[in-house]
Structure 1
C-alpha cells in the first residue's frame, strides 16, 4: 500500500523488465490470435502476483508500475497502468530528444497485450 498522506491511499504493485520482454515477444502472436496468450504461463503469472517475489495480484491493487525499455534506444520510460480507469499513462524523461511517435511504437505492445492479459484473469 502506498500512502502519501492519510487521505490518499492506494494499492500499487510493479512489474520488471522481464515482463516487458515477454509482452514484446508475445505481441505479434496475440495480434494474430488473442488465444495465444493462454499458452504464456510466465506472463500470466505477473498479474496473478506469482512471478515476482513480494508481488501483489492485480485484482488487489489500483495501479501497476512498469519500467519499459525502449527497443531501439537505450532509454527507459515509465508506464503506469491505472486499473480502475483502464488506462496506461507513459512518462518520458527525455521528451525533447525522444519524440512521442517513438514512445508510442514501444508502448503499443503493452497497450494491446495488457487488456487481453487482464481479461484472462478477470480484472
Structure 2
C-alpha cells in the first residue's frame, strides 16, 4: 500500500559542525545574513537553533539586548494602568486583612496568657528590670 504523499520526509534532528555554527554566527554578526537567511543558505532547521548559537558562540552579549517594543495607544495604556490599579487594590486589601488578623491574634494570645497566669497562678511574662 502506497502513501498519499510521496514527497513526505521524516524530520530528524541534525547535528551541525562547530565550524558551520561559527561561520553562521560570524556572517550574522557582520550583517551579511539574517537568522532566516541562514536557514535558507545553510539548511538549518530552525531559527531558534541559530539564536541559541548566537547566544553561545556570538561576540555580542544578547542577554542585555533591549527588546523593541511597539508604542501603545493611549487607550491600551489606560487599560493597562486600570489593570495595575485593580491588582494593587487587591494587594492592599489582602495586606490590610492580614494586618487585622495579626492584630486579633496578638490580642487573643495576650488574653490567653492572662487567663493562664490567673488559673495556674504563675508568672508567664518576664518582667525586664531596667539596667
Instruction: Assess same fold via TM > 0.5.
Output: no
More strand per residue: 1 or 2?
A: 1
| TM-score bucket (shorter structure) | under 0.3
Question: With CA pairs under 8 Å and 6+ residues apart, which has the higher RCO, 1 or 2?
Answer: 1
Larger radius of gyration: 2
